[in-house]
A and B are shown apart, each in its own frame.
Chain A
């Protein structure tokens, strides 16, 4: 571009360091310190994007995070590309590549622009109205909607950048480093509060830092000069930490806040490598001071969205801070004095201001006098009724406002311009305040919502508190901080302040024009193309709640979350529906305040750290022997051990046969283990299990079933009496933590009189379970001096033993129905125990088996797995386990529920064995069981809970729950599948060795 709109040197920009960057493939130059927006404007590039719905050309409108239009894509590299980034926030660096979004083939010629011409066909709620019928067409519509929806493109490859999370604690957190935040930081830190000051921009000082205006002075200095000295001073305060480029995303209850600290986005590419890109700060603050400032409002008139139409405060910042003129022929359109400051700034830099159009009938302030002296024409009581210029504004048309402001009169006046600054007043940035649960009130004088009720120990100061004039800001800080921090005085009580005050006020939410509203495009939400016409249509169609109007028209639903447009939308709704603003309320502001990347949210919790898992001490052995793993809770458990190219089915069949014919070994370390001690331990077990425990002899083991108070089976496992007052309880793998929690609950809250102590020892022991006809021989090889005779060491008993010098506990218990020994050893010996078993078992063809074989073997015996065969709707009676429910015990958890009217019904679902007529047909777990397929709808009697092909019985076996199944032994039923109906019959759930002979074989 030949145009260079850099007007003057600026000390905020390093004009000695040129930076080259690309926008839409073209190379431009800016200076170090420029944002992408300021650098583009310096090159006279206004057109940077297309609007969402109508694809209208759009330019840079603001200078901050509220930007609705200049939303761009950063970098083309598919792994680090970032969509929907605000050009006003991107600091340029050498090698930056940026491009427009939502346009094809290019921002200058965009085919989607046809939507602008078709706009009468695209009213509010267009999608809701159009794509509803015929319903069967939805899939076709969806394709096109998805194609045209969204703005930028998501990255398609994993994010290579590093993100971090940090916990931060402080006495006082100050959000916003403008004049208010800096004053508060100084007061707080000097009074010995550990203070943290966060600012989203790269520099401190807000808008004051570039305020070089004779009408805003503190202690007879420019307010900017005064503030600069203050900033220099606070940088040396010991109690104060300052973080710039750090934006608070969320403000939760109890003063818990999330902030994103941006560390490398502004650095050249070579300095971004191998370092943390962004950090999520998790802040817990005793007190929070919100000094987030305010956002200028646009004015709402026909064609108010053309490139070159900007906020007046943004034009001022580009001029004073970046040394960039946004236009050569400027016009300002305003309802307050802010635009006059902009005009003075431009005029001082020799940039031409053609006119100021002011809707107020008169205005008397120091600033207006200055404008008059400069000879700039002011059109009082005028409004802009239209603008011209497709890709860049070139002319505005104004007309005189009527007394009531509802119509325009007299003749049209055209004013030439290439940049129009608009100011509709200021909206306090109360987003974080309301996120925290704060309640707002409406100030009729300034037409703003301001903080009213604080939900936590916090304070809003400055313009986000509705203090819009310099004197008010400073005097309010002095008063409110003394109270908030409980201090006697501040350093700022004797400041001499001279400032111009905006005296006259006039606010018109929707400016009138010579056309009816329905013929205009007066944009309220620029990003989502919601116009005043759309809002009025929604109201005509009966929408009343502000939340409904928002969703119907999509006002405030863009990536800017309505930072610019919401107040105007509310105002138009209020005027149209005759509801007071204070009664209308606002929509809910939700986190994040500005968009966060997913990388920042997840931090280091990616890849293997995404979800932590638990490994048994034998894990490495399983890996070495090619085990496939299954997730059980957080555990990785060996699932099966395929040999060579063996399939899962083949491996499980082989393992299952080997365990019954020779020997098998299972890693049972994951089972929950709870150490129970105390003089009332037996009584405690009596109360938590359904069966009786008082008479269990020392050295014996017993299977126990635990219920919920509602009578439903909760957990099961074997508990061993190690000594008089010492038991070790095992739980299911997945239930361990919950069982311990439940036991502690009863112990502490219902039975505090019991002398019982519970300790989780799951991780302290490793467990190898050796089963099969050869198990006894293998154990005797490992522990030669242990008497394994059935007389001395019968089934369901326990012995202390030693392997070498290492103590271990051996339990003779069985989940497979085979003779079986479980060796528990201190966890760090787990792997060597396992290897010893393998070595000793080698001559007996010992076969490691995984959880799948374990499940198959226990199913052959009809043993339940809590959570697979049960689902918290089955009592022990339903499971045909009446034998384990003590009739003698006065009480245990869940006992009373076993004879509620509902639990004694005969037609409850009950656990039964299921055999298929065809022994080779293996049922699907979860398949439905029915009796009669002729009557529709078919009544479901139950479902299959476990199903396997048993290699030991050479047939298919299954367990299932069936309504009234207990009394249906031998009855024929059906399992309907997609392509066939399988004939089955109800059987005894114990398929193998009903006499339990194998336990002693």
Chain B
């Protein structure tokens, strides 16, 4: 059970949040222009890193805001949270 620092509400229990998978996968602006393979790349392919991963989370039982997180999947340490549209604070 992590403590997650929601960028809008502050520190809350993990049970108030929902994970939304890998971050910074932008929905193509013109999907109809894409080949099957290119569309599949967007639709299905995710990295699932062991280590530092950029993830999407939503404060589903709180402010309902989506935000991003830098989490080490090997030990669940959260290194940073940042708002949608912002650049990751670390590489």
**Residues of A at under 8 Å CB distance from B?**
252-254, 256, 284, 437, 455, 709-710, 741, 744-745, 748-750, 752, 890-891, 895-897, 900-901
Contacts and interface: CB of A to CB of B under 8 A. Distances in A.
B1 A752 contact: no
18 contacts: A253-B1, A253-B2, A253-B76, A254-B3, A455-B75, A709-B43, A741-B18, A741-B60, A744-B66, A745-B20, A748-B66, A749-B84, A750-B26, A750-B27, A891-B31, A896-B31, A896-B34, A901-B36
Interface string B10-45: 000000001010000011001110101001100100
Contacts of A890: 32
B36 A748 contact: no
B39 to A, nearest CB: 5
B46 interface: no
B58 A745 contact: yes
A749 B34 CA distance: 21
A901 B40 CA distance: 11
B43 to A, nearest CB: 6
Interface in B47-77: 56, 58, 60, 64-66, 75-76
Most buried by A among B18, B26, B64, B85: B64
Contacts of B27: 709, 750
Given A253-B2, A256-B1, A745-B58, A752 B39 contact: no
Contacts of A748: 65-66, 84
B17 to A, nearest CB: 12
Contacts of A253: 1-2, 76
Nearest to A255: B3
The 7 closest A-B pairs by CB, nearest first: A896-B31, A748-B66, A256-B1, A750-B27, A896-B39, A254-B3, A749-B66
A900 B58 CA distance: 30
Contacts of B2: 253-254
A744 B20 CA distance: 12
Contacts of A284: 3
A900 B37 CA distance: 9
Contacts of B58: 741, 744-745
A744 B39 contact: no
Contacts of B60: 741
B32 A895 contact: yes
Contacts of A455: 75
A752 B60 CA distance: 18
B40 to A, nearest CB: 7
A897 B39 CA distance: 8
A570 B64 CA distance: 50
A253 B78 CA distance: 12
A253 B56 CA distance: 21
A890 to B, nearest CB: 7
B84 A897 contact: no
Contacts of A750: 26-27
Contacts of A895: 31-32
Nearest to A745: B66
Nearest to B67: A748
B32 A896 contact: yes
B61 to A, nearest CB: 10
Given A745-B20, A895-B31, A900 B39 contact: yes
B19 to A, nearest CB: 12
Nearest to A891: B31
Given A455-B75, A741-B58, A897 B1 contact: no
Contact of A749 (B1, B36, B56, B76): B56
A749 B26 CA distance: 9
Nearest to B13: A284
Contact of B43 (A437, A745, A897): A897
Nearest to B31: A896
A767 B52 CA distance: 49
Nearest to B56: A749
Given A254-B3, A744-B66, A750-B26, 19 more contacts: A253-B1, A253-B76, A254-B1, A254-B2, A254-B76, A741-B60, A745-B58, A748-B66, A749-B56, A749-B84, A750-B27, A752-B85, A890-B32, A891-B30, A891-B32, A895-B32, A896-B31, A896-B32, A896-B39
Contacts of B20: 745
A744 B58 CA distance: 10
A744 B31 contact: no
Contacts of A752: 84-85
Nearest to A708: B43
Contacts of A254: 1-3, 76
A252 B75 CA distance: 12
Contacts of B31: 891, 895-896
A744 B84 contact: no
Contacts of B1: 252-254, 256
Most buried by A among B43, B60, B76: B43
A534 B66 CA distance: 56
Contacts of B39: 896-897, 900
B64 A744 contact: yes
A410 to B, nearest CB: 55
Contacts of B66: 744-745, 748-749
B36 A900 contact: yes
Most buried by A among B1, B34, B85: B1
A162 B66 CA distance: 40
A750 B3 CA distance: 27
A677 to B, nearest CB: 16
A745 B36 CA distance: 24
Most buried by B among A741, A890, A901: A741
Contacts of B32: 890-891, 895-896
A745 B32 CA distance: 22
A252 B76 CA distance: 11
A748 B58 CA distance: 10
Most buried by A among B31, B32, B65: B31
A580 B43 CA distance: 49
Nearest to A744: B64
Contacts of A437: 75
Contacts of A900: 36, 39-40
A253 B85 CA distance: 30
A895 B27 CA distance: 13
A749 B22 CA distance: 13
Contacts of A745: 20, 58, 66
A829 B39 CA distance: 49
A896 B32 CA distance: 6
Nearest to B34: A896
A872 to B, nearest CB: 14
Contacts of A749: 56, 66, 84
A598 to B, nearest CB: 21
A481 to B, nearest CB: 24
A13 B37 CA distance: 78
A437 B75 CA distance: 8
